[in-house]
Amino acid sequence: MNFTASKRTRLVALVASVAIVAACTLPRSGPNKREIFEGSVQKQGDAYVVSVNDRVTRATAVAPVFGFTDTFENASVTAADVIRAGDTLGLTVWENSDVPLLGAPQAATVLEQVQVDDAGFIFVPYAGRIKAAGNTPESLRLAITRKLDAQTPDPQVMVRRLAGDGATVSIVGNVGAQGVFPIERPTRMLSAMLAQAGGIGIDPEVAMVTIIRGGNRSKVWLQDLYDDPRADIALRANDRILVEADTRTFTALGATGSQTRVPFETRTISAIEALATVGGLNSALADPTGVFVFRNEPAAIANVVLGRDDLQGAQRMIYVLNLTEPNGMFTARDFAIREDDTVYVTEAPYVQWTKTLSAISTPLSTVDSLASTFN
């Protein structure tokens, strides 16, 4: 093969390579910056593309706020001494008689594990059925004494409220010990009951406590139990307490250190923190002028951001962060990421050019190799 033929072959290969590259789309991680802007409402697309500035940052800085409703906060403290259906009692009776009704002379009669039935009554020999629920141990003692006094002289009665299943709460989730716990004098408040269950087994920063009471459900950040006294509510019998980690996530895609679904590690997270969580920008691929946040924005916020008042329903919003601007890093530090956001970093323009050159040079190298072989 002579030199002219070799040049002709290379020229044919170059033209063919360019044609192939032009006819197909080179691999990439997603749309480029130009394509995203082309899809904006301003250009007959279906999403509003908004450059982030201090005004936009303030308008979109909405953090989830949880707290117990007034129904939960205004509930009074449960009287720990009040006997309830399901409680277990211990009774001791002393009789001042040589012929006692219940036991041996001059000896105490102990009745252990006396269960309060569903109707709230207990049975005491020679005293019959006595209403226990709703009474304190002292008032029940007086009631039993009056019943026995008619049959034995000067009876002495002691009533003890044992651990039972009357006033209890159930605790599940990320606690030291899941289970059913009685409401007692030291554990009538939520924080004390959580301590009784062995404390929290997850990072307090993202721990949430949900109370289910009948048909009502309410939740609060764990930290608020200690920051706001009103959040440390009084418990009620049959409350169900669920302790779980924050379930919010966002998605990171494009030219970042990793592409994944990311859980929130703190109550709030900024765009800079979100990028740092996935390894930052890929220095070989990323375009720092093209950091986008895709979000379905509630109409109330979208109207403020866009300076309008006519939008209805959730709006597709694409927020643009340019990290190369003088205050770009500060803006990204202040811009809050929210649940279900998609953080997408575009590739730098030269990356596609590099891929194109690579796609062209590979067949040319093959041609040179074949030419050398034939020569």
Query: Cα–Cα distance between 241 and 178 in angstroms, integer?
Result: 10
Pick from 107-116, 193-202, 245-254, 295-304: least confident: 107-116
Locate tokens 């007034």: which residue? 70
Cβ neighbours of 113 (radius 10 Å): 10
Q: Could you give the CA distance from residue 94 to residue 183 in angstroms, rounded to a whole number?
A: 30
Confidence of residue 300 (pLDDT cuts 50, 70, 90): very high
Q: Please identify which residue in the block is written with the tokens 């007692």.
A: 184
Q: What does the buried/exposed string (b/e) look like for 313-339 if buried means 16 or more CB atoms within 10 Å of the residue's CB?
A: eebbbbbbbbbebeebeebbebbbbbe
pLDDT in tens, 238-260: 899 999 999 999 999 999 988 99
pLDDT tens-digit readout, 151-182: 888 888 999 877 666 678 999 999 999 999 88
Residue 369 has pLDDT above 80, yes or no: no
pTM: 0.67
Q: Is the pLDDT of residue 19 over 90?
A: no
Q: Is the pLDDT of residue 297 over 90?
A: yes
- Averaged pLDDT, 6-28: 52
**DSSP β-ladder status, 240-245 and 216-221:** unpaired
Cα–Cα dist 215/75, whole Å: 15
**Which are the contacts of 146, defined by CB distance < 8 A and separation ≥ 6?**
none
In this prediction, residues 182-187 reach a mean pLDDT of 82
- Chain centre to alpha carbon of residue 153: 64
What integer pLDDT is reported at residue 108 of this predicted model? 81
- Per-residue pLDDT for 33 more than 90? no
Q: Is the pLDDT of residue 352 over 70?
A: no
> CA 339, CA 63: separation in Å to the nearest integer?
10
> Residue 136: which pLDDT band, with cuts at 50, 70 and 90?
confident
C-alpha neighbours within 13 Å on the C-beta side of residue 232 = 14
The more confidently predicted of residues 28 and 202 is 202
Residue 18 reports pLDDT greater than 90: no
pLDDT at site 355:
57
Query: pLDDT at position 218, please?
Result: 92
25-39, 335-349, 354-368: lowest mean pLDDT where?
Answer: 354-368
| Residue reference for tokens 């449960």 | 78
What are the tokens at 77? Answer: 């403290």
Digit-coded pLDDT (tens) for 308-346: 999 999 999 999 999 999 899 999 999 999 999 999 999
Q: How far apart are CA 47 and CA 65, in angstroms?
A: 27
**pLDDT tens, residue by residue, 41-79:** 878 888 999 999 999 999 999 887 788 888 888 877 766
Phi and psi of 97, rounded to 5°? Answer: -155, 145
pLDDT band at 365 (very low <50, low <70, confident <90, very high): low
What is the separation of C-alpha 313 from the centre of its chain, rounded to a whole number of angstroms?
25
More confident residue, 33 or 26: 33
Average of per-residue pLDDT values in the chain = 83
So what's the pLDDT on residue 106? 57
CA dist 299 and 24 (Å) reads: 40
Cα dist from 216 to 34, 219, 247, 361, whole Å = 49, 10, 21, 68
CB 343 within 8 A of CB 337: yes
**Residue 290 pLDDT > 50:** yes
| The pLDDT value given to residue 177 | 92
Mean pLDDT of 23-45: 76
